[in-house]
Chains A and B, each alone.
Chain A
Amino acid sequence: MSTLDSYVAEWKRAKQVRPGASSLERISQTAFDAFLIHGFPTTREEEWRFTSVAPIADSAFALVTEPRTAGLDIAHLRLPGGPAAELVFVDGRYVAGLSQVGSLPHGVRAENLASAIATPDEALASYLTRVAPFDRSPFVALNTAFLIDGALVELAAGTILQRPIHLLFLATGRNNGRTTMAHPRVLTVLGANSQATIVETYAGPSATGYFTNTVTEIVLAENAVLDHYMRQYEGTGAHHVGAIYARAQRSANCTLNAINAGGALVRNDVFATLDGEGIDCTLNGLYLADEQRLVDNHTTIDHAQPHCASHELYKGILADRARGIFNGKIIVRPDAQKTDAKQTNRALLLSEDAQINTKPQLEIFANDVKCTHGAAVGQLDDEAMFYLRSRGLSAAHARQLLIHAFAADVLNRLPLESIRADVEFRLQQQLTAKLRAA
Chain B
Amino acid sequence: MLRVTNLHAAAAGREILRGIDLSIDAGEVHAIMGPNGSGKSTLARVLAGHPEYQVTGGEVLYDGQDLLAMDPETRARLGVFMAFQYPVEIPGVNNAYFLKAALNAIRAQRGREELDAVEFMTFVRERMHALDIDETLLNRPVNEGFSGGEKKRNEIFQMAVLEPRLGVLDETDSGLDIDALKIVASGVNAMRQADRAFLLVTHYQRLLNYVVPDFVHVLADGRIVRSGGKELALELEEKGYGWIEAPVG
Is the CB of A425 closer than 8 A to any CB of chain B?
Answer: no
B49 part of interface (Cβ distance < 8 Å): yes
A423 at the binding interface (Cβ < 8 Å): no
With a CB–CB cut-off of 8 A, which chain B residues contact A393?
Answer: 73, 98, 101-102, 105
B82: which A residues are within 8 A, CB to CB? Answer: 390
Contact A386 B98, CB 8 Å, known A392-B162, A405-B91, A405-B93: no
Binary per-residue interface labels of chain A (155-171) against chain B in the complex, 1 for a CB within 8 Å, 0 otherwise = 00000000000000000
Hey, which bits of chain A sit against chain B, CB under 8 A? Answer: 381-384, 386-395, 397, 401-402, 404-406, 408-409
Residue contact A392 to B91, C-beta cutoff 8 Å: no
A386 to B106, CA, bound (A): 16
Question: Cβ of A389 and Cβ of B92 under 8 Å apart?
Answer: no
Report the separation of the CA atoms of residues A405 and B88 in the bound assembly, to the nearest whole angstrom. Answer: 14
Asked if residues B87 and A387 are in contact (CB atoms below 8 Å), the reply is yes
Q: Could you list 12 examples of A-B contacts with CB < 8 Å? A: A382-B51, A386-B72, A387-B87, A387-B88, A387-B90, A388-B90, A389-B73, A391-B158, A392-B162, A394-B73, A394-B105, A397-B105
Contact between chains at A386 and B50 (CB < 8 Å): yes
Complex CA distance for A13 and B90, rounded to whole angstroms:
56
Q: Is the interface of A mostly helix, strand, loop or mixed?
A: helix
Contact A388 B92 (CB under 8 A): no
| Neighbouring B residues of A382 by C-beta, 8 Å | 51-52
Q: Is B17 an interface residue (CB 8 A)?
A: no
- State the CA gap A391–B48 with chains docked (Å): 10
Q: Is B71 an interface residue (CB 8 A)?
A: yes
B92-A384 in contact (CB<8A)? no
Taking the closest CB of chain A, its distance from the CB of B137, in whole angstroms, is 16
Is there a chain A Cβ closer than 8 Å to B224's Cβ? no
B76 in the interface, Cβ–Cβ < 8 Å?
Answer: yes
B84 close to A (CB within 8 Å): yes
Residue of A389, A394, A405 near B90 (CB, 8 A) is: A405
Given contacts A386-B88, A390-B72, A391-B105, 20 further A-B contacts (CB under 8 A): A386-B49, A386-B50, A387-B84, A387-B87, A389-B72, A390-B48, A390-B76, A391-B76, A391-B81, A391-B98, A391-B99, A391-B102, A394-B73, A395-B71, A395-B73, A402-B92, A404-B93, A405-B91, A405-B93, A405-B141
Q: Is B77 engaged at the interface, CB distance under 8 Å to the other chain?
A: yes
B88 near A392 (CB under 8 angstroms)?
no
B84 to chain A: which residues have CB within 8 Å? 387, 390
Closest 3 CB pairs of A and B: A405-B92, A391-B102, A392-B76
Residue of A381, A388, A405, A408 most packed against chain B (CB within 10 A): A388
CB contacts under 8 Å to A, within B167-223, are none
Tell me the nearest residue of chain A to B99, going by C-beta: A391
B88 contact set on A, CB distance < 8 A: 381, 383-384, 386-387
A305 CB, min distance to chain B CBs, angstroms: 36
Contact between chains at B92 and A408 (CB < 8 Å): yes
Q: How far is the CA of A285 from the CA of B40 in the complex (A)?
A: 46
B42 to chain A, nearest CB (A): 14
In the complex, chain A residues whose CB is within 8 Å of the CB of B93: 388, 401-402, 404-405
Tell me which of B50, B52, B87, B105 contacts A392 (CB under 8 A): B105
Inter-chain CA distance A405–B140, complex, in Å, is 13
Q: Determine if A404 and B92 form an interchain contact, defined as CB atoms under 8 angstroms apart.
A: yes
CA distance A386 to B71 in the complex (A): 10
Q: Give the CA-CA distance A237 to B106 in the complex, in Å.
A: 41
> In the complex, what residue of chain B is closest to A404 when comparing beta carbons?
B92
Partner of B73, one of A383, A392, A402, A406: A392
Q: Which residues of the partner chain B approach A394 to less than 8 Å between Cβ atoms?
A: 73, 105
Bound-state Cα–Cα, A7 to B103, Å: 60
Chain A residues contacting B105 (CB-CB under 8 Å) are 391-394, 397
- Bound CA span A310–B176, Å: 44
Chain B residues contacting A389 (CB-CB under 8 Å) are 49, 71-73, 76
Tell me the minimal C-beta distance from A311 to chain B in angstroms. 19
CB neighbours (8 Å) of A387 from chain B are 84, 87-88, 90, 142
Contact B92 A409 (CB under 8 A): yes
Residues of the A chain whose Cβ atoms lie less than 8 Å from the Cβ of B102:
388, 391-393
Complex CA distance for A402 and B90, rounded to whole angstroms: 8
Give Cα A136 to B77, complex, Å: 60
For the complex, what is the distance from the CA of A381 to the CA of B92, rounded to whole Å? Answer: 13
A384 touches B106 (CB 8 A): no
Task: Tell me the bound Cα distance from A386 to B109 in angstroms.
Answer: 19
**Chain B, 44-98, CB within 8 A of any chain A CB:** 48-52, 71-73, 75-77, 81-82, 84, 87-88, 90-93, 97-98
* A397 lies within 8 A of B72 (CB): no
The complex places the Cα of A29 from the Cα of B22 at a distance, in Å, of 85
B48: chain A residues within 8 A (beta carbon)? 390
Highest count of chain A CB atoms <10 Å: which of B48, B84, B97, B102? B102
Closest Cβ–Cβ distance, residue A128 to chain B (whole Å) = 42
In the complex the two chains form, is B51's CB within 8 Å of A391's CB?
no
When distances are taken between beta carbons in the complex, the residues of chain B under 8 Å from A404 are 92-93
